[in-house]
Amino acid sequence: MNQEKGLKMKLRREPKQSRGSLPVQRSNVSPGAQLNRLRNEIDRLFEDPFGAFARAASFFEGWEPSLDVYEDRDKITIKAELAGMKLEDIDVRVDGNTLSISGERKCEEEKTEGERCRSERYFGRFQRSIGLSTAIDAEKVSAKYRDGILTVVCPKAEQAKSRQIEIKNA
Question: Strands 98-105 and 90-95: what pairing?
Answer: antiparallel
Return the percentage of the chain with pLDDT > 90, whole number: 26
- The per-residue pLDDT for 145 is 94
Nearest to 136 by CA among 99, 90, 92, 165: 99
Which tens digit of pLDDT belongs to each residue from 152-170? 999 998 876 667 778 888 7
Alpha carbon distance 149, 80 (integer Å)? 6
Kindly report the pTM of this predicted structure.
0.56
Q: Is the pLDDT score of 53 beyond 60?
A: no
pLDDT at 150: 96
Nearest to 123 by CA among 150, 78, 85, 68: 85
**pLDDT score of 135 more than 60:** yes
* 126 has pLDDT over 50: yes
- Does 59 score more than 50 pLDDT? no
pLDDT above 60 for 147: yes
